[in-house]
Amino acid sequence: MTRAETTRPAPTRVGADSSGQAGGRPAAKGVERLADWSIRHRRLALSLWIFAVVVAFGGSMFTGVVEQSDADTLSGQAAVAERLLDESDFGEGAIENVLIQPKAGVSAGTDQIVADLRARYRVLSEVEQVGDPVTSPDGRSVLLPVHLDLGSGESRTLPKNAVGPMIEATEAAQKAHPDFSIAQVGAGSIGKEFSERYGQEFQRAEYISLPVTFAILLVTFGALVAAGVPVLLGMSAVLFGLGLASVTSFVLPANTNQPSLILLVGLAVGVDYSLFYIRRVREERALGRSPGDALHIAAATSGRAVVVSGISVVVAMAGMFFAGNMIFSSLALGTILVVGVAVLGSLVVLPAVLSMLGDRINWPRIPLLSRRTRVDRGSRVWEAVLRPVLKAPALAVVVGLIALGAAAWPITDMRLKMPSDEDLPRSYPVVRTLHEVVKAFPSESTSHVVVVEAPAAQHDRVVSALTELNTRARSAGGFAVSEEAKTASSVDDRVTKMYVAVPDEANSPEAERTLDRLRTDLIPATVGQIPGAVWAVGGPTAFNSDFSSVQEERLPYVVGFVVLLCLVVMLVAFRSFLIALVTGLLNLISVGAAYGVLVLIFQNDWAESVLGFESNGAIVSWIPLILFVVLFGLSMDYHVFVLSRIREAVARGEEVRDAVRSGIVRSAGVVTSAAVIMVAVFALFATLSTLEMKQLGVGLAVAILLDATVVRGLLLPGFLALLGRPAWREVSFLRRLPSVAHD
């Protein structure tokens, strides 16, 4: 180890930059002033934080969360159709279908069971009407439709909130008729089971993530208190973020995946920021700094890096607002809130806590671990990894690009699909019932929904046009419509809907062709001829097609916004075009590799048995965009801290290759620990049963793993060694910008 690696700048005071020179720039002074205030008013700072967390999260328990409707999650014409249906009263509640099938060896009829079910349902206030039973083509299955009473106006409730008593009645009927399988399925029962199961799984992942994170931090720091502080700060940031998100849901309704993303990102950045900060304080104390000087240096270095990292993550998340769908807007808002809270906690609460604890942050030491985690040691492993890389940086870059390029190659075959009820886990009984219904009653599978809004005076003409549309669809081929048009009108005759069945899977090319035929030919020639009529086509095929089309249209804007603003942040931080460009390039490469691995695992079903899922041959439509923005933000997180260490070494006069080696080696322990925590937390979410959360968890874990190994071990040092000192040369006009990043 060279002398250049072990020296440090002279003790700094508030306002000094990382090279030890006084007169820090305004942005840096702001961070350090905040830390100074926190240290001087530590009890007040901690009390205010605890109060804010309790009020925010506790308040959310009383106010609840406003969730997005189906229409909120859709795009294009499908969203218009769903909104027209939601805003209209068709005089019918949600339908629950009860499937009755004899078990093996039973041949008795089902009339008695149907009569029993009718008697049980009619006494329920939640049931509006019990329909006539329908027998399957093979005569073995009977489907009994039941209409739920959801109320009206402000008292109208969701199907999942009204279906409980009916489920209990169905279960009682099953016990009374053990020779038959009696099960129900519908929007209400699916929604109820999903909410309950998903809530339990989310809670389990949350509980497991905390001890896993604590264990990794314990290995990192070798002391219980040092390991516990980041966990407490990270979890309090998550609770604070969840509380704030519940408030904002009254303005922007929350997506069902928002809490999961808040936990994923909030715990990751909250723990990471604390980890970097505490590590720097311990390093400075080990070098003989006083407790006050150590905190000031940490504020002037890690504190500034936290600001840059937080801004980078927020900027990346803000890109989702350009996606043109409320799913992304909700996820963006939730993550921005929790990242902002995590940054605030790191800048205000952490200095207060560390000043209270002093050297007790290292108590109690775990003998074996504390010796292993001495802060004055670099990583021997990373020394060994970097030695050949810095001797032959061009070869390292080529090897790294080939490896990540090979991983990214499968994205050329990526297929996107919005998940349907049939893609829910087969472990859910209601989903198994759904598959049985589709199998026994093929006509109950896929339908386009044509929705027409017109003045009530035009109602008869609308019905006539829809009847003509049904006739033309029958003769056009590709549809599975009956002779009689299946139309229904709202009680005020303003909105009329018609189901147009197709014999294919919702996301098949054949179904998409029939959708296109409806929109471009059949509907314009019939309903489109009615003056003042507004029409839209919804249904599962339209949902997927319209969502994908909007994403393809908006993706360049999202990518451009995120990449451009992140480059601007890095320019402000390091005042070098080359550093900003290298950072952006490496982020794009690692994201592409993560996409490729995701396709291999989920689209090509490489790990179905390991991860416990059944591939539907596609990636969930919103996953690539959310992965891009989250990974771009989190990758910037690492790069800011690693590049800041390298910049410190360059500023001390080290040769570039020595600076790259010392910067990466010096930051190796803490960055590796942060990466391991993220990978572990993200991997936990791959254990959730829903396909989208598995894909999100695996995608994030793989990308962070690649970023912390291949990118940090080969590409970053290789590029920096090849670029040399010019990479760190400040552009003249950028010198006037505030310096906000050193660690």
Superfamily name and number for 25-62+222-369:
Multidrug efflux transporter AcrB transmembrane domain (1.20.1640.10)
pLDDT of residue 368: 66
d(CA 240, CA 474): 56
Phi then psi for 385, rounded to 5 degrees?
Answer: -65, -45
* Four-point Cα dihedral 254, 259, 262, 263, nearest 10: 180
- What residue spans define the domains of the chain? 25-62+222-369, 91-192, 429-545
pLDDT of residue 502: 86
What H or E segment, with its residue span, contains residue 292?
helix 291-298
pLDDT of residue 20: 38
Peptide bond into 211 cis (omega under 30): no
Contact 673, 282 (CB under 8 A): no
pLDDT of residue 344: 95
Contact 422, 430 (CB under 8 A): no
Terminal CA-CA length for the chain: 20
d(CA 448, CA 226): 58
Phi then psi for 52, rounded to 5 degrees?
Answer: -65, -40
What would the pLDDT profile of 478-495 be if each residue is shown by its tens digit?
A: 888 888 888 899 989 999
Q: What does each C-alpha distance from 535 to 80, 146, 496, 530 come to in angstroms? A: 9, 29, 10, 10
What sections of 163-223 are H helices per DSSP?
164-176, 187-221
Q: Which amino acid is at 133?
A: P
For residue 489, give the nearest of 508, 514, 461, 470 by alpha carbon: 461
d(CA 323, CA 53): 31
In CATH terms, is domain 429-545 a member of 3.90.1570.10? no
Question: Which 3 state secondary structure label does DSSP give 483?
Answer: coil
How many CB atoms are closer than 10 A to CB 247? 15
Contact 689, 201 (CB under 8 A): yes
How many CB atoms are closer than 10 A to CB 609? 8
For residue 620, give the nearest of 554, 695, 552 by alpha carbon: 695
d(CA 66, CA 47): 30
For residue 444, give the nearest of 150, 143, 738 by alpha carbon: 143
CA 179 to chain centre: 44
- Looking at domain 91-192, which of 3.20.20.80, 3.30.70.1430, 3.40.50.300, 3.30.300.160 is its CATH number? 3.30.70.1430
Phi then psi for 605, rounded to 5 degrees?
Answer: 45, 50
Q: Which amino acid is at 378?
A: G
Q: Do domains 91-192 and 429-545 have the same CATH topology?
A: yes
3-state SS string for 255-284: CCCHHHHHHHHHHHHHHHHHHHHHHHHHHH
Q: Across the 743 residues of the chain, what is the mean pLDDT of every consecutive 10-residue run?
A: 38 37 45 90 95 95 87 88 87 85 72 93 90 88 89 60 90 93 91 84 84 90 91 95 96 90 90 90 87 89 88 91 91 96 95 92 75 57 93 96 96 85 80 88 77 93 94 88 86 93 82 93 94 92 89 88 89 88 92 94 83 84 90 83 88 92 88 89 85 90 92 95 91 63 49
Cα Rg, the chain, nearest whole Å: 30
DSSP notation for 542-601: HHHHHHHHHHHHHHHHHHHHHHHHHHHHHHHHH--HHHHHHHHHHHHHHHHHHHHHHIII
CB proximity list for 53: less than 8 A, separation 6 or greater = 236, 239, 240, 243
Q: What does each C-alpha distance from 317 to 310, 335, 489, 625 come to in angstroms? A: 11, 7, 42, 10
CB proximity list for 494: less than 8 A, separation 6 or greater = 88, 453, 454, 455, 456, 459
Residue in the structure block whose two tokens are 């985690």: 373
